[in-house]
Chains A and B, each alone.
Chain A
Amino acid sequence: MFNDTADEDLMVMYQKGEVRAFEVLLSRHRKPVYNFILRFVGDKETAEDLLQEAFMRVIKGAEAYKRQAKFTTWLYTIARNLCVDQTRRRKHRKHASLDAPMDSSEESGTLMDVIPSNEMASDRKSVNKQLHETMQRAIAALSDEQREVFLMREFLDMPFKQIADVVGVPENTVKSRMRYALEKLRLELDEYKDLAKVVTL
């Protein structure tokens, strides 16, 4: 019924008491928001909590929502702020999460070390999975500012203007952060370029 309806219209319907509209919004954005949060904070449980909190804030703030505002901008602003707060808290506590991504500066070894050479070429799926993990670590190694821009740009296909609105910085700053993020990723993943070519072929 509401599958073709725009997010903003669904939100207005929800403001008028249509719960089904919110259900559609939830089912439409739950997964991308969850994965955005998961890649940002790198922790499943935290991501689940933050996802819940993000939509709770949407519900609480639904009354104040204006039709002129893009819903995804509003939603990802909430999610991003929650992630930033969470990251700050974690840094403040100086408790390293057990399943936190490895720092790129650490002597954590390379993908070649992780994947035994005899299995690498044979099992493409396995290689693909491990390459994803490596990519995830590289992304986690980015600074918060670079990571959020990179995630929104590459994983959510957001235009720079919208990212700038979500992050609250000028568009040029967003582009600059994106450039630095890509440069850092290139450096991080340089030694896996041949492997990436194999997987993508």
Chain B
Amino acid sequence: MTSKNDDDDALDPMMRSMRSVWLDMRDGDAEPPARGFAELMAAARVKADAMQPETTEPWWRRGFAMLVRPPMLAAATVVVLVGGAVVLSQRNTEVPMRSASTDHTLRDAEAPAGKLGAARDSPSGAGSAAAAPSFETATTDHAAPVVSERSRRPRAAAPAIVREQVKDLPQPPAEPHAGAKLPADDNAERGVQIADEQEQDLAPKAVKGTDGTGRASQSDGVVASDKVPTARRPVSPPPTEPLIKQAEAAAKRSDCAVVKTTAERIRKLDSNVYKARVVTQPAIARCLK
């Protein structure tokens, strides 16, 4: 283990001989008694068990064991409940968003809705038969979940009120086929109900058909239909109107880039207005070419 040179230097011959004695003593070292050995080993085993790391089990088993503990189960339950509440609340907020997204759909279907309104006011077979299917197609194509959800709601009162209001309105002169119920009348009536409901929910659409986009309605040849919502809803300018003015102004100063951008926005918002009021203006049309 060590070299004894440093010690040997300090030892005189007498001590060297004595060293051989004590080194000889080492050979005669006494064996310790066996007493206490078993106790030591027992204590060592207990301590070893206490020190033994818990890594003998695989991680997934330890993880599972941890997960099934009551506190973890309670925490998981709380997480599920909170998560469910969050999901439900988000779903509730999504419904108005979806209905907002259906604005475009309804605007696209504004002219058919107008026709539908005309069909409601004057039950001449040709108008109602043509309008109802087109409205339903436009509605169900883009916003089917909303419509179906609404159709599930109880809505007995609203159509009745609307019908009463409609009754109060001045009726157009009776036509030869006024009393006759055409085959398409069922569809038209359904369309009237949905249209009424949407008119109640979506004021801008109804307004748009009356004031700002009156020309669009005129272009389709249906004007009378928009009188009903006008009577019930406060008037507000349609969203396309400022854009049209902006496009006209830009066309006057020959800023075709703005004209194109604005015209595109108008087209996306209301294709009928786009066709009726944007493309028809020569200054704008020049820029769009």
Contacts and interface: CB of A to CB of B under 8 A. Distances in A.
Is this pair of chains taken from one and the same complex?
Answer: yes
Interface of A: 14-19, 22-23, 26, 30-32, 34-35, 38, 44, 48, 51-52, 55-56, 59-60, 62-63, 128, 131-132, 135-136, 139, 153-160, 175, 178-179, 182, 185-186, 189-190, 192-193, 196-197, 199-200
A30 B32 contact: yes
A35 B18 contact: no
Contact of A17 (B39, B41, B43, B48): B48
A157 B36 CA distance: 27
B167 interface: no
Which label, helix, strand, loop or mixed, suits the secondary structure of the A interface? helix
A193 B53 contact: no
Contact of B35 (A26, A48, A157): A48
A26 B41 contact: yes
Interface in B42-86: 43-45, 47-49, 51-53
B257 interface: no
4 tightest A-B contacts by CB? Answer: A17-B52, A157-B1, A34-B32, A200-B20
Contact of B33 (A14, A48, A135): A48
A174 to B, nearest CB: 12
Contacts of A200: 17, 20-21, 24
A155 B41 contact: no
Contact of B40 (A55, A153, A197): A55
29 contacts: A14-B48, A17-B51, A19-B44, A22-B41, A26-B37, A26-B40, A26-B44, A30-B37, A31-B29, A31-B31, A31-B32, A48-B33, A51-B36, A52-B40, A55-B40, A59-B43, A59-B44, A59-B47, A62-B51, A131-B21, A135-B25, A154-B23, A155-B22, A178-B7, A185-B15, A186-B15, A190-B14, A196-B18, A197-B17
